[in-house]
Structure 1
Amino acid sequence: MPVLVIAEHDHASLKPATLNTVTAAAACGAEVHVLVAGSNAGAAAAAAAQIAGVARVLHADDASLAHGLAESVAATVLSVARDYSHVLFAATAGGKNAAPRVAALLDVAQISEITKVVATDTFERPIYAGNAIATVRSADAVKVITVRTTAFDAAAATGGTAAVTTVPAAAADARSAWVSAELAKSDRPELTAAKVIVSGGRALGSSEQFNAVLTPLADKLGAALGASRAAVDAGYAPNDWQVGQTGKVVAPQLYVAAGISGAIQHLAGMKDSKVIVAINKDPEAPIFSVADYGLQADLFVAVPELVAALRG
């Protein structure tokens, strides 16, 4: 049976997480299909058809899918899911919202945040904040999976010639309705897709110092800004900057951690970064155990010096 990927998109284009999920799906079955469920999302469906390795694109277009409500998306996924051996979502906010509903409606167990496909019925996933890897085998007829996208390479966005087939959207769920959204706008790269991330911890002391110290470095590097949970809880940074087990999982080319001690919950969200640079005045800080480059120094001195050196 073929394998189905639920596309992440903004109706006009695909999000990078879709490409990583396609790679995971290709390891699960011989034929990969992609479902694009949205409103006026023809451009996203066309982009999905160009992904290398995708054999078919299902396009469900309806006003009820305009805002990605989990109930509406899950109902549309459910209408086609039984034709597939695996249904894969990216382990993003949207994927984590819809996937459990699909699994429950199919009466199967969800397999969460896989990092490796061992066999078509066997997968690896991290547990205990990434300190152990569980090997999970499922006998369910349809395997509902969320994919930790940082663990899989992105499929090529071009080179595919998949056919696009229109499928009906499921009836809108009257139990939920879109009310409004308050979105943070930024010119910086999206945190989970950024190639460079500059993160700060509680040692910054205040939101004013957080921005004053880290923003010039992020600007110089063209980086996204991140934060530890302690910094977010203290009000130094917004919730959507949080990196870690209870925040976002990232794996950029470069991760700069300034004033972050390296609690296990934070390490779970960034330890797969290609190069990790840690700046901390505590020589015993756990962050140094995963850092490729460590600088024992006062961040209020070291970061401005780094910015000045980069300008030179």
Structure 2
Amino acid sequence: MRVTVLAGGPSSEREISLESGAAVADACVRLGHDVFKADVMPNDTAALDRPCDIVFPVLHGPFGEDGTLQALLEERTLRYVGSDSAASRRCMDKHLSKQCWNDVGLPTAPWVMVSASDASAAEAVQPPVVVKPTGEGSSVGVVLADTMEDVRRAVEHALMRFDRILVEKRLTGREVTVGILGDRVLPIVEVRPAKGFYDFEAKYRRNDTEYIVEPDLDQTTVRQLQALALRAYRVLGCRHYGRVDLILDASAGPQLLEINTVPGFTQHSLLPKAAARVGIGFDALVGTLLALGMSDANA
């Protein structure tokens, strides 16, 4: 089968995407496919016109994960792995995804969306809060604010870089992630960063973050987290695979944080770790995703 693997892109997660793309491409080769690997940019999408049977996008962040690239693939009626353009937009926009969950009664922390025209709206959520852009991933641009003065400074700084930001009540508790493969919910992975905050460095650059597959949780909580993750994934219209991040708040219980529609495929990445626990090795994971992509027309 002719597989085009797309990686790179313009976002701050470019290097991670290139690493993930190389791993996926290598797996496709081991599976016996004819692989073409391309680094695509908004102004250079020639690789999309190369004949293939399926496209495997592994771009993170804006352009690659926000529905833009997916819409280009749909215009060309190409089969591809991952959520469609509409679901990708909903998931990448943290405000929109939280609004969708809130509309159907799924638990997520109180928040407000803030733009430069109404920066004072940030004061609607009492600190401590998390200030973050609405459309970035891997904790890019995330700031913790403990006082209202901290909030004002963080918002002012963030709005110099981003058009819209989210000010969200900061939750405390165990941070977990739930991978989904097709309609199968994978084992829970708990994330324990050494320095308390799971930022970009902890995710990709340092080796002191602890990942516990199937952590010590009672079975009622496990089932609750997995069911909540699957429902959140379905509410946003995701398909093929994804990773749902949650926090087990000490007082409020399980709360949804966000969904990653293009999880990483690096040595630190959590979806492959969870899949491996149930006997799905890296190559088998990639092969399953190719099969899921081939099952959809994408026309």
The reply to whether TM is greater than 0.5 is no
Structure possessing the higher radius of gyration over alpha carbons: 1
TM-score by length of 2: 0.30
